[in-house]
Amino acid sequence: MTATPSFPSRLPQVGTTIFSTMSALAQQHQAVNLGQGFPDFGCDPRLLHAVTDAMQAGHNQYAPMPGIAALRQAVSDKMQALYGRRYNADSEITVTAGATQGILTAILACTQPGDEVIVLDPCYDSYVPNIELAGATAVRVPLTPGSFAPDFAKIAAALTPRTRLLIINTPHNPSATVWSDAQMRQLEDLLAPTNVLLLSDEVYEHMVFDGQPHQSVARFPGLAARAFIVSSFGKTYHVTGWKVGTIAAPAALMAEFRKVHQFNVFSVNTPMQAALASYMADPAPYLELPAFYQRKRDLFLHGLQATRLKPLPTRGTYFQCVDISAVTDLPEADFCRWLVQEIGVAAIPLSAFYGDGFDQQVVRFCFAKEDATLLAALERLKKL
């Protein structure tokens, strides 16, 4: 008999994610899936036509390693217009195979075994495995329970001589909170005397509600000088399956980023890049996105009034968190399984985003769905 050789796992603690589990349960029970964060509606047909045009024009071979020049320039122009900082399209912007690849590449580029990386819990589930793959150590600092505001005293206490990087995310998945100008300035002051780098996950940058601006790290010179800024075309243009994103960073940081990028991806889907560059000539799609998703948020919030679920404030993203304490004493994960099986709606427990599984009886819904999908879910949730 022959046997497959065994070897030590690089990620021994990682198993099937709650997202895969809940989606499988949703399919099994024919539930309305408001769990995973992706739209169930199509993108602008003009964008699809632009891809076809790019393919027919011959844009089907490898793109340049940093990305197509026209797309990098379009991103540079957008950041200048929205955030007041000009990133050099040649040396400070790189197109990535989605935001997740950009995050992993940034972590690999700037951390060494023995370095520490601070993450703010609850956080997106790729951060800590990425840190572990780099051989660095994740240091989890909790956001304030309830408000999910950054606790700067705790962040300051977590800083050590080994701290290489801090990861922040605004608008924030899963809590749907956003950082304010004052919070950004407080972070700027905190990091000023340190050599700590910053990774700012801003994939929901165009989903900020109630007239408030997105406080990009790019707006703050003391932060921008030490930061990798992550963005996502998939989130902005409803094409998550395309897996195209960008990283913006000062030239010295970007040079190190590209050293890794060229060997783990090299270049990104060419016709999609060409199409996005053409499509970005019209800023309306991303400028109108806050109103588009705010209407869906308000539709979902109105429907939740007929349930015993208590909505938490949603300032950005396309997620709505709710307090379930008036409905159940079950832990979040058990409630989500019950909700799929008995009510027919899928949600995600917030405890899945915490390293220690902290349970505060809050679950997350995604409202990036057709109105009919949201109304169907709300009709079922009335049973609660």
* Model pLDDT, residue 109: 98
* Model pLDDT, residue 310: 98
293 Cβ contact partners less than 8 Å away, ≥ 6 residues apart: 207, 209, 318, 367, 368
Sheet of strand 227-232, all strands in order from the earlier edge strand to the far edge: 93-96, 245-248, 227-232, 197-201, 163-169, 116-121, 137-142
* 1: pLDDT strictly greater than 80: no
Provide the residue type at 137 as one letter: T
Spatial separation of the C-alpha atoms in residues 124 and 121, rounded to whole Å? 9
* Domain 45-282 bears CATH identifier 3.40.50.2000: no
* Model pLDDT, residue 17: 79
- Percent of the chain's residues with pLDDT above 70: 100
User: Confidence class of residue 23 from pLDDT cuts 50, 70 and 90?
Assistant: confident
Spatial separation of the C-alpha atoms in residues 187 and 191, rounded to whole Å? 6
Helical spans, DSSP H, in the chain = 18-28, 45-56, 69-83, 98-110, 127-133, 152-158, 181-191, 221-224, 233-237, 251-264, 270-279, 284-287, 289-304, 332-338, 371-381
Q: Is 193 exposed, middle or buried (0-12, 13-18, 19+ CB in 10 A)?
A: exposed
**What is 18-37+287-381's CATH superfamily?**
Aspartate Aminotransferase, domain 1 (3.90.1150.10)
pTM: 0.96
Torsion (CA) 275, 262, 254, 235 in degrees, nearest 10: 40
pLDDT digits (tens, 9 = 90+) for 24-48: 988 899 999 999 888 999 999 999 9
Domain boundaries, the chain: 18-37+287-381, 45-282
- Which two three-digit tokens encode residue 163? 């701290």
Q: Is 308 exposed, middle or buried (0-12, 13-18, 19+ CB in 10 A)?
A: middle
Nearest 5°: the CA angle 100, 241, 203 is 45
Tell me the mean pLDDT in the region 249-263: 98
* Model pLDDT, residue 147: 95
In sequence order, the β-bridge partners of residue 363 are 322, 349
User: Confidence class of residue 211 from pLDDT cuts 50, 70 and 90?
Assistant: very high
* Model pLDDT, residue 143: 98
* Model pLDDT, residue 164: 98
Tell me the mean pLDDT in the region 365-369: 98
pLDDT digits (tens, 9 = 90+) for 303-339: 999 999 999 999 999 999 999 999 999 999 999 999 9
pLDDT digits (tens, 9 = 90+) for 8-22: 999 998 887 778 888
One-character DSSP codes across 327-371? T--S-HHHHHHHIIIII-EE-EEGGGGSTT----SEEEEE--S-H
* Model pLDDT, residue 102: 98
Biggest alpha carbon distance in the chain?
67
* Model pLDDT, residue 205: 98
* 132: pLDDT strictly greater than 90: yes
Spatial separation of the C-alpha atoms in residues 14 and 10, rounded to whole Å? 9
* Model pLDDT, residue 21: 85
* Model pLDDT, residue 18: 79
* Model pLDDT, residue 36: 84
Torsion (CA) 381, 170, 144, 339 in degrees, nearest 10: 20
Provide the residue type at 229 as one letter: I
Looking at every residue in the chain, the average pLDDT score rounds to 96
